[in-house]
Amino acid sequence: MSKLLIFTAPSGAGKTTIVRHLLEKFDDLAFSVSATNRERRPHEKDGRDYYFLTTERFRELVDNGAFVEWEEVYPGQYYGTLRSEIQRLWEAGKNIVFDIDVRGAKSIKEAYGDKALAIFVKPPSKEELFRRLRSRRTENEESLRRRMKRAEEELKWEHEFDLVLVNDYLPKTFEEAEKIVRDFIEEDC
């Protein structure tokens, strides 16, 4: 039976970097692409980074129960995990890795229980997290302020998950993440 590995963290903690590394290291691991109604950034590709939907289509799918989890992350901006995405990857015989916000991670963990392992990626400090967010230069001042406020709230969720992975020194973090994945995949459910 395939398993679910859920990596969650506030924006800027490094979960996407860790997930990308793991996808390169494990052939039987596949990325769960989330759906969103937000605007696509120039470097993003539909179906690889997100499934980009109109707000109307997103709400229609919510009404039809198509999401395992979904959330209005910022006013008018929705993100969610389609049931069909999990089914597609399981049918391909893959273990699934998620790069998802804390509320979505908690929902998926609750839905799949022991088949899922939820890992909270923690930055070394709140100050370092805010430094990372600022250095991205992908946000205007208003959206950066919103993101930092949300990140501060999400840091309080670390005890809601199975494991905490501190992302202080990337090579060590990669090594620890690989061990977590290997141990969980090899463990009998």
Q: Domain residues of the chain, as ranges?
A: 4-186
What CATH code is assigned to 4-186?
3.40.50.300
Q: Work out the mean pLDDT of the chain and round it to a whole number.
A: 90
Q: Is a pLDDT exceeding 70 seen at residue 68?
A: yes
Q: Is a pLDDT exceeding 70 seen at residue 71?
A: yes
Quote the CA–CA distance of 105 and 120 in Å, as a whole number: 9
| Spatial contact of 74 and 101, defined as CB atoms under 8 Å apart | no
40-50: average pLDDT: 93
- For the four alpha carbons of 42, 48, 50 and 54, in that order, the dihedral sign comes to positive
Q: Is a pLDDT exceeding 60 seen at residue 189?
A: no
pLDDT tens by residue, 96-141 = 999 998 999 999 999 999 999 999 999 887 777 777 666 766 666 7
Per the model's pLDDT, the better-predicted residue between 10 and 114 turns out to be 114
Q: Please state, for a pLDDT cut of 70, what percent of the chain lies above it.
A: 93
**pTM > 0.75: yes or no:** yes
